[in-house]
Copies of this chain bind each other. A is one copy, B any other.
Amino acid sequence: MSDPALRAYRDADWPAVSAIIREVLAAGETYALPVLDDADARDFWLGQPGAVAVAEVDGVVVGTAKMGPNRPAQGSHIGTASFMVASAARGTGVGRALGEHVVAWHRAQGFAGIQFNAVVATNMVAVALWRSLGFEVIGTVPGAFRRPDGSCVGLHVMFLDLAGMRP
């Protein structure tokens, strides 16, 4: 299998991206969202300011990330991002490639930092990946995510400082 190739999202990617979003939301393990219909999925993934990237392996879109300001106006110097990887492609470096792309994009755009608002604390692969890219856990909202088995686990707020925002 080749290394993932990153590029900007194009309209023709929607069927592949939509299928990945549906699969990830149906699993119910990582996003506090119901399975979205096509219009809501489009709005969720493509409807905000910023950029959307896809990761291809052997010409097939296997992952996607969206990125942009976390808040408007007084908060727009801090970015955020969301990630989706097809289950068949996990463990192959797609998430890391998307994460590195997202960090590079924010640096290039002049963002002062990147905030992840809700990383499921039991999603060990994601938490370890973001830590390896320099993110730290700012805090954890206890029990804020209800897993499919009914158990409640914490949601991490994670942050990567790109401009020495730390006092």
Contacts and interface: CB of A to CB of B under 8 A. Distances in A.
Contact of A74 (B28, B137, B159): B28
A31 B71 CA distance: 10
Given A142-B159, A152-B165, A157-B157, 15 more contacts: A32-B71, A32-B74, A34-B73, A70-B144, A71-B118, A75-B155, A78-B143, A112-B143, A115-B144, A117-B117, A138-B139, A138-B140, A138-B141, A143-B163, A143-B166
Interface of A: 28, 31-34, 70-78, 112-113, 115, 117-118, 137-147, 152, 154-155, 157, 159, 161, 163, 165-167
A159 to B, nearest CB: 6
A33 B72 contact: yes
Nearest to A139: B139
26 contacts: A28-B73, A32-B71, A32-B73, A32-B75, A33-B71, A33-B73, A74-B145, A74-B147, A75-B118, A78-B143, A78-B144, A112-B143, A112-B152, A115-B141, A115-B144, A137-B139, A138-B139, A138-B140, A138-B141, A139-B157, A141-B159, A142-B161, A142-B166, A143-B163, A143-B165, A144-B165
Given A112-B152, A138-B139, A152-B112, A146 B74 contact: yes
